[in-house]
Structures are given as structure tokens and as C-alpha cells.
Copies of this chain bind each other. A is one copy, B any other.
Amino acid sequence: MPEPAAASPEAPQPRGDHARGDRGAARTDRFAARTEGMTASEIRALFAVASRPEVVSLAGGMPNLAALPLDSLADEVAALVAQEGQVALQYGSAQGVPLLREQITEVMSLEGIRAHADDVVVTVGSQMALDLLTRIFCDPGDVVLAEAPSYVGALGSFAAYQADVMHVTMDDDGLVPSALAATLDRLAAGGRRAKFLYTIPNFHNPAGVTMAVARRAEILEICRRHDLLVIEDNPYGLLGFDGQIYPSLRSMDPENVVYLGSFSKTFASGLRVGWALAGADIRDKLVLAAESATLCPPTFNQMIVSRYLATHDWRRQIKSFREVYRDRRDAMLHALGTYLPPGCRWTRPDGGFYVWLTVPEGVDTKAMLPRAVGARVAYASGTGFHADGSGSRQLRLSYCYPTPERITEGVRRLAGVLEAELDVLHTFGSPDRAGARPAGSTGRPARGPQSPSPDTT
């Protein structure tokens, strides 16, 4: 095939920050500045191995769909195509199907939210809502606040728009109000202002903790005082293992909170139906941004969700999902307590999909991952959940997808890998494999978050 012609002498040279002279390719030298920050996960290749059946993957965030009533769903989608196919298979509005938006307000009412369907924007998963909110708020270099650790998909969108992520400390009760206030004061002292706080209050991904109810008003008050918009991402809110539902931030401060919801964890992730609830000014821009992004979300998928909500006992279905996940959470916590070596700490989620594990000092979870996969267990290392390179002593374990027996076996294998790691460390103290470093430092230059993938979300 012909090579691209050399640029003519008159043609301007590419700008320095785009130049990659050694490539000789005609295209890569003109990527946008933001594209430089888009890098593939270093562990992506490992996932091909990790997805082999002999490997217990505790890495993925795939919901467990085994409890779905596929036969009655099949009947519903067939009826939808046969009876309403001319509408369901056609373009729709960028904001989403009106009936579904009404039903979404009913779903949100379970969390104390009073909303009008006009303020709901349906998106291709709540990831799209997050991406578009970043699009409409963030110029390059703008600050956004996120918990430490934070959702890898959010960090990916923030990086895609060249936002500057500042992490705020969490503890077992979620985001720490004093840390938030201190960060905001520090920003203000430096003449900067954050565009928004991104938070996952319930059953946090990846931290597995929940923002204490007593803290919520305080956090909202701090945000108000600093004129800081809050983006509340709540995909797991209805998956509390005791059926508990915490008051949403949106219900406590409708004016200052944009709420993101999703059917991926309570119904079917492969339909990619999520939503944002926002005040009129933000909603209008979201709809316009959504039109540029995809014209409209798939009508068919929205009508399937709408039918499902109308014809199935979806509350009961969520209850059965909760039971599935509670059993798995129990298996994981029991296995962690049984097998892990001393010096490990982990969170104890009361809902959602994840446990966040801190390993003994000196162990680097990213460096250890290939050895774990060799021992037929996979996890998500902690650095992916930070924009600042920290997290090397942490890892995320998901209990959502494997059976309790597999979870137990996976944790047993992980314990063996950790023991071996600690043996090496104890014997050689090798900085090459597991050098002792201060917590929060990888000993490598900080790097941006890796792109999310369904395997690691």
C-alpha cells in the first residue's frame, strides 16, 4: 500500500507537543493533546489470561445475571418487537423515552428523591452521563474532586477531558468531611476552584464503604459553602444487603446535586441504560451534548427496560439480586478472615460488589498481579483507582460474579501468593520485587488513570 506523501515544504510542521517524528505515521502526529493521555491498561493483556476458566477472577465488576427471568423477558422483548417495533427500532429523542423517564422517577423515589421526568436524561449507561458531565464542565486543567480511591471509569472520563483530579481521603465511613474542607480551603488559597465533587456514597466502587448518614448533611453543607456542585453516582444504592436504603444526597440537596443512576446492576448491564437527574440548566446542556455523542440512546433498550419495570416485580428481582450478592460477600469475608496472612486489612461492605484490601507494607499489588494470575487468581490492583499513582498497597476484590465456592478458592490462592510475596520480602527485602516504600507511593512517577474497561469497573 502506498505510503503517505511527505508533507510539502510549505506545510507547517506539527506542533511540538504533538510531534512524534520517529513514527513516520501520517496520523498519530496530529492527535489532539487530550489523546496523549489515553493509554491502554498495562494489565489488559493479563485479562486475556485471567478470563481463562481455570483462573478465579475477582477482578471484574460484571453483575451476576443468573437470577434474571430470561424466559419471561424473552416473551416481553418479542412482544415489544411484534407490537411496537416501528417505534422501538426507530430513532427517538436525545433525552430518552418519556415513559421510561417517568418510571425512573419512581425508582428514584425509593431513595427519597422527588423528581420530574423532564429533568431526567437517559444515557448509554451512567458512564455516558459521567462523560458528558465532564464534557460540559471541564476545560483542560480544571480541578475535579474525587474520593481516594475512585471509580476507574470516572477517572478515565476526567482524563479524557484533561481534568486535574484531586483525591479526598475516605475512611470506613466514606468521604471524610474535614479532608474535603481542607482540600477546598487549600484550593481556594491557591486561587483555584473545583468544578465538582464526584462521589459514590453507597457501597463504594472500589472501596466497599458507605458514606455515613450522619456525614451527609455536613458534606453537603461544605459543598454549599464552597459553591461546589456534587455529582452523586449511585449504581449500587438498592443493593444494600439488609434491604437498607440510605438517603440520597440528591434528596437532601436537590439544587446542588446531580444524580446518576443505572439499570446495569439492578437489571441488565448489556442494555446500557443509565440516567442523570439534573436541574434545568445542566439538563439542557446534557441533552445537547448527548445529541452530539450518539444522537439518541437506543430506543429499543429503553422500551425493554420500561416494559420490564411495568410487567415484572422488579423490587422483588432486586431483592433476589441482593441475596445473591450477600451470599457472595459472606463467602469472601469468611475466606479473607480464614486465609489471609497477618497485616492485611479489608473493608466490610454492607452492599454492592467490592472489598478493598490493603496488603502489608512492602507488597506492590501491581507488581504482584502477574504472579497472582500465574497462581490462577485475578484482582484489580489499586493504582488503577487513583489518578496520582497511589494505591500500590491496595487491591480490589469483586465478589459479584463467581460462586461462593470459587470466591473461597480464589481468596485461598491469593493468600498463597501473598504469603510467597511476604516470604521473598522477608528473606531478601528485595526492592526490585517488593521494596519497602511509603504508603501512597509507587516509587514510580505518577501517571494518569488507565482507561476503564468492563473487566475492571
Instruction: Tell me the A residues contacting B by CB distance below 8 Å.
Output: 1-8, 10-12, 14, 23, 25-28, 30-35, 38-40, 62-63, 65-66, 68, 70-71, 73-75, 77-82, 85-94, 124-125, 127-128, 131, 135-139, 142, 153, 156-157, 159-161, 188-189, 191-193, 195, 224-227, 229, 253-256, 264, 268-272, 279, 281-282, 284-285, 288-289, 291-301, 451-454, 457
CB of B31 within 8 A of CB of A137, answer yes
CB of A81 within 8 A of CB of B91, answer no
Can you show 11 pairs from A to B with CB atoms below 8 A apart? A5-B227, A8-B226, A11-B188, A34-B139, A38-B292, A65-B85, A70-B81, A74-B80, A124-B124, A124-B297, A293-B293
CB of A28 within 8 A of CB of B295, answer no
How many chain copies does the complex carry? 2
CB of A229 within 8 A of CB of B26, answer yes
Report the nearest B residue to A161, measured CB to CB.
B32
CB of B298 within 8 A of CB of A156, answer no
Q: Which of B75, B80, B224 contacts A4 (CB 8 A)?
A: B224
CB of A160 within 8 A of CB of B289, answer yes
The answer for the CA separation of A251 and B109 in the assembled complex, in Å, is: 54
The answer for the CA separation of A77 and B68 in the assembled complex, in Å, is: 16
The answer for the CA separation of A78 and B5 in the assembled complex, in Å, is: 52
CB of A295 within 8 A of CB of B11, answer no
- A94 CB → nearest B CB, Å: 6
Contact partners of A457 in chain B: CB under 8 A: 91, 295
Contacts A4-B224, A298-B301 aside, 11 further interface pairs with beta carbons under 8 A come to: A5-B227, A7-B226, A12-B193, A35-B135, A39-B288, A68-B86, A87-B270, A91-B457, A92-B454, A135-B160, A156-B291
CB of B298 within 8 A of CB of A271, answer yes
The answer for the CA separation of A151 and B86 in the assembled complex, in Å, is: 25
Report the nearest B residue to A300, measured CB to CB.
B270
Report the nearest B residue to A84, measured CB to CB.
B70
The answer for the CA separation of A228 and B73 in the assembled complex, in Å, is: 49
Q: Which of B1, B38, B269 contacts A255 (CB 8 A)?
A: B1
Report the nearest B residue to A37, measured CB to CB.
B288
Contact partners of A224 in chain B: CB under 8 A: 2, 4-5
Q: Which of B78, B90, B227, B281 contacts A7 (CB 8 A)?
A: B227
Q: Which of B35, B153, B299 contacts A295 (CB 8 A)?
A: B153
Report the nearest B residue to A225, measured CB to CB.
B5
CB of B90 within 8 A of CB of A81, answer no
Report the nearest B residue to A81, measured CB to CB.
B74
The answer for the CA separation of A256 and B225 in the assembled complex, in Å, is: 53
Contact partners of A131 in chain B: CB under 8 A: 292-294
Residue picked from A131, A137, A291, most chain B C-beta under 10 Å? A291
CB of A288 within 8 A of CB of B451, answer yes
CB of B82 within 8 A of CB of A71, answer yes
CB of A153 within 8 A of CB of B454, answer no
Contact partners of A255 in chain B: CB under 8 A: 1-4, 26
CB of B38 within 8 A of CB of A65, answer no
Q: Which 8 A-B pairs have the closest CB atoms?
A: A91-B454, A270-B299, A78-B78, A89-B268, A74-B81, A70-B85, A74-B82, A89-B270
The answer for the CA separation of A73 and B88 in the assembled complex, in Å, is: 12
- A112 CB → nearest B CB, Å: 14
- A401 CB → nearest B CB, Å: 10
Contact partners of A193 in chain B: CB under 8 A: 11-12, 14, 30
Contact partners of A127 in chain B: CB under 8 A: 292-295
